Amino acid sequence: MTKFEDLPANAQALILAKLANELRVQKSPSIHHLARQRRTDVMSVWRGICRKANQRICTIPINSMHSSLASC
């Protein structure tokens, strides 16, 4: 699986924009909350976001995971 950080900047931006849009539409403050809403795990949500962005499946960004965990 490709590391998110190794993707081109435009692919990273597209995936994060899709995530932000999905969070806004679902009124979720974080990917963790979105996963709980969908009764699934965070990686499943992330894979769905990558697919919606028409990008290859990649790891979840390390920095966002740490900041998200701190806010839980």
pLDDT of residue 62: 77
pLDDT of residue 26: 96
- Does residue 70 register a pLDDT over 90? no
Long-range contacts at 3-10 (CB < 8 A, ≥ 24 apart): 3/58, 3/59, 4/58, 4/59, 4/60, 4/61, 4/62, 5/61, 5/62, 6/58, 7/55, 7/58
Per-residue pLDDT tens digits for 1-30: 899 999 999 999 999 999 999 999 999 999
Domain boundaries, the chain: 4-63
- Sorting pLDDT into bands at 50, 70 and 90, what band is 65? low
Percent of the chain with pLDDT over 90: 81
End-to-end CA, the chain = 26
CB 3 within 8 A of CB 58: yes
